[in-house]
């Protein structure tokens, strides 16, 4: 048992060093020092991304892990070529996925939705001045409903929503995906990114009204929170002929890309 714990600690240290070196190599000394400066008491860390714009992450929070997933392991580097896609980023958190999707598809129109107030404040800051990006503080749900945060004491990237009870003091608006499309005047969405901490189970189980209006879906499933999420993703996208694993997410697409293989 002691050897197992020691091995895990050594592996975590090794991984942390690797991430630090990758960030240094990709984003330079200034951003590296902002992120790793042990003497800094500043809560917000500034990183200048490839588009020359600053991105802000919160020191000592799960923002760092999200940054590594998206910026270093390229989860938003999708193989699909899209000229001017309409995108819904559901579970936008602080806007990292939105930023990298906007760099991947410069002419994209992106609707970023995030239910938590603190995350949403940083989402707005990180997307300020980006043409074609709009932010809505709301949750994605399977029906129109008032929601609340179920686990407010957890890390910021892991907040889960649940239907609010009558006595709830703080509630959040929730919309279905087709309602979001209607509000934006969209009859079709080229890409939906879903990272909504197990809410995808019911959203995907009740996707009949909108699934045919979507070209591709990038989903992070959370069977550790609610068993059946991954199965719901596969069932909802059963008519999407192409699939690809991208880090912790799965891309289901109606469009082929170079090197794509059809789903079995």
Give pLDDT tens digits for 131-140: 999 999 999 9
| Closest by CA position to 139, among listed 117, 156, 122 | 117
Give start and end residues of each alpha helix (H) in 128-214. 177-184, 200-205
Q: Are residues 106 and 169 in the same domain?
A: yes
Give start and end residues of each alpha helix (H) in 37-188. 63-67, 96-104, 117-127, 177-184
Domain boundary among 48, 73, 98: 73
What is the average per-residue pLDDT within 113-123? 93
Q: Are residues 225 and 136 in the same domain?
A: yes
pLDDT at 108 (0 to 100): 98
Give dist(CA 44, CA 35) in Å, integer: 9
| 177-216 tens-digit pLDDT | 999 999 999 999 999 999 988 889 999 999 999 999 999 9
Domain boundary among 73, 105, 134: 73
Angle between helices 117-127 and 96-104 (to 10 degrees): 30
Residue, of 175 and 7, whose pLDDT is higher: 175
**Whether 210 contacts 181, CB under 8 Å:** yes
Residue 162 has pLDDT above 80, yes or no: no
| 49-108 tens-digit pLDDT | 999 999 999 998 889 989 999 999 999 999 999 999 999 999 999 999 999 999 999 999
- Residues of the chain with pLDDT > 70: what percent? 89
Q: 3-class SS at 104?
A: helix
Domain boundary among 18, 41, 73: 73
Q: Are residues 154 and 219 in the same domain?
A: yes
Containing structural domain, residue 178: 75-264
Q: Are residues 202 and 97 in the same domain?
A: yes
- Average pLDDT in the chain: 89
Q: Are residues 158 and 264 in the same domain?
A: yes
Q: Are residues 195 and 249 in the same domain?
A: yes
Residue, of 181 and 17, whose pLDDT is higher: 181
Q: Are residues 225 and 155 in the same domain?
A: yes
Q: Are residues 6 and 115 in the same domain?
A: no
Q: Are residues 112 and 183 in the same domain?
A: yes
Backbone angles phi, psi at 63, to 5 degrees: -55, -35
Give dist(CA 62, CA 60) in Å, integer: 7
Question: What CATH number does the domain containing 93 carry?
Answer: 3.40.50.150
pTM of the model: 0.89
Residues 6+ apart with CB under 8 A from 117: 137
Domains contained in the chain, number = 2
Q: Are residues 19 and 109 in the same domain?
A: no
Q: Are residues 46 and 126 in the same domain?
A: no
Q: Are residues 15 and 141 in the same domain?
A: no
């Amino acid at each position: 048992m002691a050897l197992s714990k020691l091995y895990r600690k050594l592996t975590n240290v090794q991984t942390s060093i690797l991430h630090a070196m990758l960030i240094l190599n990709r984003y330079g000394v200034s951003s590296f020092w902002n992120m790793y400066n042990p003497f800094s008491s500043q809560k917000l860390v500034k990183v200048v991304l490839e588009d020359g714009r600053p991105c802000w992450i919160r020191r000592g929070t799960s923002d760092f892990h999200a940054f590594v997933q998206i910026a270093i392991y390229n989860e938003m580097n999708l193989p699909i070529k899209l000229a001017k896609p309409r995108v819904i980023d559901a579970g936008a958190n602080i806007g990292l996925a939105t930023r990298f999707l906007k760099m991947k598809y410069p002419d994209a129109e992106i609707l970023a939705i995030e239910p938590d107030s603190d995350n949403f404040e940083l989402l707005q800051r990180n997307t300020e001045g980006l043409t074609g990006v709009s932010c809505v503080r709301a949750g994605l749900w399977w029906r129109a409903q008032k929601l609340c945060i179920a686990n407010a004491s957890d890390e910021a990237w892991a907040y889960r929503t649940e239907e609010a009870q009558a006595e709830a003091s703080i509630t959040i608006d929730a919309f279905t995906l087709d309602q979001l499309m209607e509000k934006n005047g969209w009859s079709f969405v080229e890409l939906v990114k879903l990272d909504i901490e197990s809410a995808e189970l019911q959203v995907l189980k009740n996707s009949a009204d909108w699934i045919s209006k979507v070209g591709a879906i990038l989903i992070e499933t959370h069977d550790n929170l609610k068993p059946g999420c991954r199965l719901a993703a596969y069932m909802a996208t059963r008519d999407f002929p192409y699939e690809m694993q991208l880090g912790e997410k799965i891309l289901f697409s109606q469009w082929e890309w170079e090197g794509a293989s059809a789903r079995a």
